[in-house]
Amino acid sequence: MSNRKLDFQNIEIALGESVRASSTQAMLVEGDSLALLRQIPGQSISLILTDPPYHSTKKQNIYGDTAFEEDKHYLEWMTQYAMEWRRVLKSNGSLFCFCASSMAARLEVIFSKDFNILSQIVWTKPNDPGFDGWKQKMKKEALRQWYPHTERIIFAEPASDGNLHRSPFGHYLKEIRIKAGMSAHELAEKTGLYGRINHGGTISNWEAGRNVPSREQYEKVCAVLLSTGKIESILPYEDAVRPFIMDSSKEFTDVWNFPSVRPYRGKHPAEKPAALLEHAVQATTYPGDIVLDCFGGSGSTAIAALKLGRRAIAIEIDPVWVSRMVARLEIGNKIEKKL
Ligand SMILES: C[S@@+](CC[C@H](N)C(=O)[O-])C[C@H]1O[C@@H](n2cnc3c(N)ncnc32)[C@H](O)[C@@H]1O
């Protein structure tokens, strides 16, 4: 596994004075995340889990939510983020980006230049009456469209250059198989990993990005390819295969039912539920991986990542929320304050 600890240290050096508080596991950073992202070394982040201002909601109390006069300005801004996200993500990394249903399609088009869009998750908010925002209170006769009671989360992986449908892992496997001078058929033969229908099917499915090998299967493939003597080294599993850790006990569909965070004193106006964030982090990272949130808000993503034994970086532009994030994380995680 590549050295996440070193990556984390290098990111802290690159972000310099903008780092407001840090420990070996967490980094809280103050400033404009687009400018700061440009300082982060490439291929150093395993997961971007982030919740930008929605623009469509026009909340005065969220920095940036009313900043864009026209949709196209917001989309141009997000285009720049997408390019930087692609650059800083490891090739087996993942991206979750929250958005409003009205912006999701246009954001997907933008993201699809650099990413394979894997899911558009619909977050339903099964809230109790009285904790349902405007839904109960508003005048239904005043509606001119269906009340938008869901939010969207675009889930994507970095796309391989030149082929938006092939997963980076599939691309990598094909590259090393060809370098080792083997056909998919031969590799299946030597590893005993046959497809049920056609002989090289398992290998072809992996290369086409339809599914991924287990750790044991990957080790067999590595052993066979290395034994040819034509390739010197192969990436370890954690650096090659994008984690997607799922089983039937978990929510495995793209409809996520998590109640919103109930109002409390000092709540961030857009705070996301801990259970939802933990669900996202747990499924898509290995322990020790670095999780980045470019719009840190209350620090909820960082808290979820730390709880699951991952490393966390949260960037926030609003100094009030940076201070609250520092205070909130210090309590549970003993982050050493620098200021
Ligand atoms: C939708 S909220 C995120 C809420 C967060 N997910 C939570 O659970 O608390 C967006 C946050 O991004 C911050 N923000 C807006 N523009 C930013 C920028 N350019 N760089 C960094 N943070 C920014 C806002 O101050 C706000 O706190």
258-290 pLDDT, tens digit per residue, is 999 998 999 999 999 999 999 999 999 999 999
Helix axis angle for 274-284 and 300-307, nearest 10°, is: 50
* pLDDT score recorded for residue 160: 75
CATH topology of domain 4-164+244-337: Rossmann fold (3.40.50)
The CATH 3.40.50.150 domain(s) of the chain lie at: 4-164+244-337
CA 238 to ligand 1 center in whole angstroms: 30
CATH topology of domain 168-240: 434 Repressor (Amino-terminal Domain) (1.10.260)
* pLDDT score recorded for residue 256: 97
The CATH 1.10.260.40 domain(s) of the chain lie at: 168-240
Q: Which residue has the tokens 């044991």?
A: 216
* DSSP string over 73-106: HHHHHHHHHHHHHHHHEEEEEEEEEEEEHHHHHH
Burial class (CB in 10 A: 0-12, 13-18, 19+), 144: exposed
CA 291 to ligand 1 center in whole angstroms: 16
Regions of the chain short of the pLDDT cut 70: 57, 161-166, 195-200, 331-339
Report the atom number in ligand 1 closest to the C-alpha of 296.
5
User: What tens digit of pLDDT does each residue of 218-266 get?
Assistant: 999 999 999 999 999 999 999 999 999 999 999 999 999 999 999 899 9
* pLDDT score recorded for residue 332: 45
Pocket of ligand 1 (CB under 6 A): 32-34, 51, 53, 62-64, 268, 270-272, 295, 297-298, 300, 315-318, 321
Report the atom number in ligand 1 closest to the C-alpha of 298.
9
CA 201 to ligand 1 center in whole angstroms: 45
Count of residues making up the chain? 339
Q: Coil, strand or helix: which one is 333? A: helix
Ligand 1 site-directed mutation target among 57, 59, 63, most atoms within 8 Å of CB: 63
* pLDDT score recorded for residue 197: 63
Report the atom number in ligand 1 closest to the C-alpha of 67.
16
* pLDDT score recorded for residue 59: 77
CA 268 to ligand 1 center in whole angstroms: 10
Report the atom number in ligand 1 closest to the C-alpha of 295.
12
Q: Where are the beta strands (DSSP E) in 171-273?
A: 255-257
